Chain A
């Protein structure tokens, strides 16, 4: 079921290009064919589109509310005018570039607080920064404004037409640059953080670094937009960069989904041509703002910005999005029953040799976690031997998820020791523990919907232990092993059950020492969970990592695990082989209640 889909990737590529052409071409044509005024407007639209791209990075991709992008643009314009006043001999493009680069340190003023603050608190900070920029710029004014010095463009950019093309060129360079970044782990990390910071950390990414880079790049792009605006107009006024324009830019970006280049272009076009259009219809220009406000609210309600909705529609049109994957289930035959596979594996000659020196893949010593007066974990010790699947079971509220969170670094302040391959990892942060060889999946679906299956897996691969390179064949083998959907499919178009399989595959991909799977079968239909059990049983032999399997589904435990540890009220109450443990009366009473005598 996976092969045919590979052919679909050019279609996806077409999908990306189509809308850009559809929006961009009329814009450029308008600029070339129309009057000088038309060209002037086209240039402004492109500059605003670049601001849109900057919001596409910080808000569209990374999910942080930034209400100060026009503030960055204003500071960029300031630097450009500084060049005009104090270093008029500097090459034009260099001055534009430096105007953008100068925003990198400035962005720290906003992004450093962003390490601690998120959501609406961050929005307040960015708005405060926008107001600060306004005040600072109105007190100090732009360089040269008082003496009538303006930015002079070099001769090759003197005409409106040539400058329009230059702006179009810069837009394309930035848009292409972002598209390239989107395929890197950094680009994927932004979208991971947008969806879930925990997921990003569990994939081995430092959330702090991801946020800093996102703000820095978006400030850089906005600074360039400001410099271009200064170059277009010769001089600028503070009114262009007040908090209100930042707020409007933000609303438009939400409305059009500016993380897509056609969305950003649309933002620029709407911001410039719509008011013109209104004027030609004798409607007051400012009615456009009402339109933006309503548009943003409608976009938020639907959960999709303009460009996103268009792409979604197109995808449906060309059939790159068909959803039900899971239910066209196997026709028997091909896949052996879980129990049979699980039984087979003990004779598998490819199985890993038992650890020579007796070092556990994961060892927990005397782990205790206290919430207020409740002991969530009480002196828990357990070992996961290399090459084994160990199940961690227990009733609701027994402390299983707390254990996973603690081992993987999401709960600080515990007592006890956690060792991976014999090395203590207690001092490490969540993303550092990933690099030390502990991977996890989440109980709730925390895959990143904006990524394709392949991008998600490559993000998970990370760069540690020399595992960054994974050949296409290896990747395909991994996907086939877990019955994952085709690698070019976006996860948002994949059903939840299949996402769980992708998440499990991603946890294994980097071949860590130990993988903690937190209820991987939750929500899977019977046939799927049996197949998953068979896959999990083979993980150590096929890919190397030992597995700690947290699971409620006892069939799955019996089929997949060789060892089981039972947790109840934060304490280990039994351990041994799954069959023994499940018939233990203590365990049965932990599940069924005290008074059943089975």
Chain B
């Protein structure tokens, strides 16, 4: 039981990392980015391809992260140039179209077969009172926590972070004060792509990792982000890890095991409905 919960940690860590980025983009660049995991998959497959050419893990990772950041920056530029003042619904719909385009390109470039994505630590792990925790699980959870803390500090303490927060609250007013909205938005997209590539790369060795499979990681990531009400990094983090553990535990019960991925979705619906319980109208006035 505990072991199966722990087995869900790697997946949970990846959900959490993606969820944190979903929250970042929702807050800072006003988009629910459906294409996020596909961007990550792009990076992961680049990494795998570079690794296959006898490059070191580090070089391959840098290549993957760079590729993802590049793709994301490109998409971010489309968004910043064409949909700068558009509503979040429109921007998110654009992201859906981007997902479909990326899936096609990913399929063309990388094929539809799962890839051999190298794992950093293999199957090694440490044993804590009878329960095995893999190094991979520890690595991804730690990395996710670092990302969440790092983003909080960055937004809270730096001048660029401050300007981003201003931009997220009143984009037009921030622009009137000379904040370069477009460039900052593109930078956020690039950073989001890079972090996501790290997350998908770390989870890819442990599960079905065809391009489309990795792209659909966005659904549990949305679920986790919804637990943070698309606002809180730390709740999204906890939500992602919680969903991973829940999925792991669900494998223990034969009656619900097949539906393990549905469990978090029910949680999401309830969370969203609770969070929106007071909103009555579509616009304030």
The answer to whether A and B touch directly, with their CB atoms under 8 angstroms apart, is yes
A: residues with CB less than 8 A from B are 65, 67, 113, 116-121, 123-125, 127-129, 131-132, 135-136, 139, 196-198, 243-244, 247-248, 250-251, 254, 284, 286-287, 289-290, 292-294, 296-297, 300-301, 401, 405, 410, 412
**B 88-102 binary contact with A (CB < 8 Å = 1; else 0):** 111011101111110
Q: Which residues of B contact A196 (CB under 8 A)?
A: 282-283
CB within 8 Å for A286 and B90 given contacts A117-B272, A198-B281, A251-B96:
no
26 contacts between A and B (CB under 8 A): A113-B269, A113-B273, A116-B277, A117-B272, A118-B282, A119-B88, A120-B32, A120-B88, A121-B226, A123-B92, A124-B32, A128-B265, A131-B262, A132-B262, A136-B262, A197-B283, A198-B283, A247-B100, A248-B100, A284-B108, A286-B104, A286-B108, A287-B104, A289-B104, A290-B101, A297-B82
Chain B 125-161 interface 0/1 with A at a Cβ cutoff of 8 Å (1 = within) = 0000000000000000000000000000000000000
| Given A128-B268, A131-B219, A136-B262, A300:B88 Cβ within 8 A | no
In this complex, which of A118, A120, A135, A290 has the most chain B Cβ atoms within 10 angstroms of its Cβ?
Answer: A120
Given contacts A136-B262, A196-B282, A405-B285, contact A121 B100 (CB under 8 A): no
In whole angstroms, what is the CA distance A129 to B108 when docked?
29
Q: Which residues of B contact A286 (CB under 8 A)?
A: 104, 107-108
0 or 1 for each of B203-225: is its CB under 8 Å from A? (1 = yes): 00000000010001001001100
**Contact flag A289-B265 (CB < 8 Å), given A284-B108, A410-B281:** no
Q: Which residues of A contact B216 (CB under 8 A)?
A: 131, 243-244
B interface secondary structure, majority: helix
List of 6 A-B pairs having minimum Cβ-Cβ separation, nearest first: A293-B101, A296-B97, A289-B104, A128-B265, A139-B258, A197-B282
Interface membership of B1, Cβ < 8 A = no
For B74, what are the chain A residues with a Cβ–Cβ distance below 8 Å? none
CB atoms of A289 and B100 under 8 A apart: yes
Q: How far is the CA of A590 from the CA of B98 in the complex (A)?
A: 54
Interface contact A124-B281, CB-CB below 8 Å: no
A291 to chain B, nearest CB (A): 9
**Residue with the greatest number of chain A CB neighbours at <10 A, chosen from B87, B226, B262:** B262
The answer to whether A297 touches B78 (Cβ under 8 A) is: yes
Q: Contact check: which of B105, B223, B226, B285 meets A401 at CB < 8 Å? A: B285
Contact assessment for B89 and A65 in the assembled complex, using a CB-CB cutoff below 8 Å: yes
Q: With a CB–CB cut-off of 8 A, which chain A residues contact B88?
A: 119-120
Contact string against A for B residues 106-124, beta-carbon threshold 8 Å, 1 for contact and 0 otherwise: 0110000000000000000
Does any Cβ of A come within 8 Å of B261's Cβ? yes
Most chain B CB within a 10 A radius of its CB, from A113, A251, A410 = A251
Q: Select one of A135, A247, A248 contacting B258, CB under 8 A.
A: A135
